[in-house]
Structure 1
């Protein structure tokens, strides 16, 4: 799957990009028709500890999933968002099976 990582107002290191790519690739075992995913990383200026925000927009034929998570670290937010996408992909797959 093609994963585009966009960091807003900072540069992202290769280690984080590789982590995101691995996590997104693992979603293909739940639904193999994923076209691409756009991952947006940004930090919010606030006094809260949970200021790392991850938005993932995943495109599948005929649909698009958008998940936004906010956590203490980008890795934690990516894992949380990937779990939410996993549930969405499984739900879509089940829905497609009932229509066939």
Structure 2
């Protein structure tokens, strides 16, 4: 599984990168044929307001792509929400293919 993490408009610290990698590695327990995972971490620039932290995850498997996007006040929370939603999509896809 090839994992790419990209940050937009900021530099991520090692703790954040580590958190993302740990979550992404867990995806292989739900689906073992994942080819690549792209993670985009972005700061939403709103004038004079608290910036939202956006996490987008794109997962490529043979003949299908999954995409989730979540935003919250912290990157860790955004990643966790996106991860949970991704797991649901993968489980639904697997169930659909088995029936």
| Normalised TM-score (structure 1) | 0.91
Work out whether residues 50 and 73 of structure 1, in 8 Å CA contact, stay in contact via their aligned partners in 2.
Answer: no
Tell me whether 1:42 sits opposite 2:42 in the alignment: yes
Contact map agreement 2:58 2:67 (CA 8 A) in 1 = yes
The equivalent residue for 1:55 is: 56
Q: Return the TM-score normalized by structure 2.
A: 0.91
For structure 1, list consecutive stretches of 5 or more residues without a partner in the other structure. Answer: none
1:60-99 to structure 2, matched below 5 A, reads: 60-98=61-99
On the 8 A contact 2:45/2:51 being kept in 1, the answer is: no
Shift of 1:32: 1.0
The alignment covers a number of residue pairs equal to 98
Aligned to 2:91, the other structure's residue is in SS state helix
1:49 Cα shift? Answer: 4.1
Report deviation, 1:48: 4.8
Unmatched segments (≥5 aa) in structure 2: none
Do the aligned residues in 1 keep the contact of 2:52 with 2:73 (CA within 8 Å)?
A: yes
Provide the C-alpha distance between the structure 2 equivalents of 1:84 and 1:70, rounded to a whole number of angstroms.
13
RMSD: 1.3
Q: Output the CA distance in 2 between the equivalents of 1:79 and 1:19.
A: 9
